[in-house]
Amino acid sequence: MSRTTVTALLAPLDLATFLREHFERAPALVRRAGRELPGLDTLRELPDRMLSERALRRPDVRVALDGEELTFDRLCAGSRIPRPPDQQLADPAKLIDCLELGATLIVQGTQHQSYEVAELVRDFERCFPTNGFVDANLFVTRRATPGLPEHYDNEDLFVLQLAGTKTWTLREAPLPLPLPEQTFERSSLGELAAVAPGTVTLEPGDLLYVPRGVVHRVTSGVGGSVHLTVGFAVNTWRDALVRTLEAQALEREELREAVPIEWLEAADDAPLIDGVLARLRATDLVEPIVRTRDELAAEALSERRALLRGQLAELEQLAALGADATLAPRTEQDGRVWNTAAGVRVQVGGRALDLPAHAEPALRSMLGGGRFRIGDVGGGLDTAGRTALARALVREGILRVLDVGTGGAR
């Protein structure tokens, strides 16, 4: 089954061009113009699948009508059994009633409700420097409906129109690339100029990229609209610098000393500047920066959802694995190998597998990218060791079994 990918969404732009000319810089509009988008038909089924196959709870589903968000109790199915707020279910019939009245239905975290959307989110995680918080939200309307008043978001947005039309009006950012705490204030709007592509109507298959900070407002077309947004936050240079210096302050006494009283009173800024620069020059930041990079990468990986379709069938084959078995890395899973004081660690999502140092060559060989036969793996482990390692990696969802071979270690 074909699926939607970042490469397909951006075409004819390639990823390198997009990152250079648009990411964090300028909006981008990609018209489908009759070109087929793999997986679009499957994504178009999302509204019906959400309403007919999923148990939507708070806060997974929200409904906005006439500019106000409806309280969840207006969306709930009747029940004689009291339920805690986080277990209350939205009634699909009531959601449809709201749509008919002109409401906007929002399904948040759609990647947790749809494996196809989860695969698309995984592609975004691989293509962009996210901090691990990537979210896909589905927006559904049945008639011409104005969206939220003009605002900007603190995350980058990719908008994929699935059905109907929606008109977007973009204006320049009053605060380019706002940090999470720099929330939108209406007083900041002022006289903002339009930013290309200005006012644009998205049709099915079209993609719009809106950098964080760019002001926008939206209106659904007469026949309604269905669109999917993928939004994510990033690790910034601020994050890297603050994390590194804070960690160093815990280790280096001179960074914990008080600044001289003269710094607070002097009209001349030179002593303050010289003092700060002197302490930075006296601090070897190479290793701390690398450590910060590893920490941020591990945190981002830990937020990624495990994509384990077919995993139960994989587990049933564990006992039969032997030297003749053929395996391959799961292409939908993302992992990283870390060297630790005790050996080596492979992390996939929020799970980590710690191994002794002598297993590292075989581990890296197995994760090298292609299919392999257990008996052909190098790295110094004997057949029993290679088989045990392969079984552990299959159990963790890192490897996939292609052929069990004759079974049994030999």
pLDDT recorded at residue 79: 63
pLDDT recorded at residue 67: 78
Sign, CA dihedral 108-109-115-117, equals positive
Res 305 pLDDT > 90:
no
pLDDT recorded at residue 251: 86
Q: Tell me: the pLDDT tens digits for 227-264?
A: 999 999 999 999 999 999 888 888 888 888 888 777 77
pTM comes to 0.88
Burial class (CB in 10 A: 0-12, 13-18, 19+), 331: exposed
Segment of 1-5, 134-138, 297-301, 332-336 carrying the highest mean pLDDT: 134-138
Res 216 pLDDT > 90:
yes
Res 81 pLDDT > 80:
no
pLDDT recorded at residue 263: 72
Would you call 24 helix, strand, or coil by DSSP? coil
Q: Tell me: the pLDDT tens digits for 30-45?
A: 999 878 888 999 999 9
Segment of 77-91, 256-270, 364-378 carrying the highest mean pLDDT: 364-378
The answer to whether residues 74 and 94 touch, using CB atoms and an 8 Å cutoff, is yes
Res 293 pLDDT > 80:
yes
Distance CA 304, CA 160 (A): 21
Res 408 pLDDT > 50:
no
The answer to whether residues 173 and 56 touch, using CB atoms and an 8 Å cutoff, is no
Res 65 pLDDT > 90:
no
Rounded (10°) CA dihedral 255, 261, 265, 269: -30
Mean pLDDT for the stretch of residues 263-292: 79
pLDDT recorded at residue 364: 93
Mean of per-residue pLDDT scores for the chain: 88
39: left (phi over 0), alpha (psi -120 to 50) or beta: left
Distance CA 255, CA 242 (A): 13
- Structure tokens given for 72: 């969840």
Nearest CA among 125, 128, 124, 110 for reference residue 56: 110
Mean pLDDT for the stretch of residues 342-362: 91
The more confidently predicted of residues 369 and 142 is: 142
- Structure tokens given for 31: 């018209």
C-alpha distance from residue 194 to each of 149, 169, 197, 304, 402 (Å): 16, 8, 8, 36, 54
pLDDT recorded at residue 410: 37
Give the least confident one: 102-111, 317-326, 329-338. Answer: 329-338
Nearest CA among 284, 260, 281 for reference residue 272: 260
Res 20 pLDDT > 60:
yes
223, amino acid identity: G
Residue 171's pLDDT band (boundaries 50, 70, 90)?
A: very high
pLDDT recorded at residue 188: 63
Q: Which domains does the chain have, with CATH numbers?
A: 6-234 (2.60.120.650), 238-301 (no CATH), 311-403 (3.90.930.40)
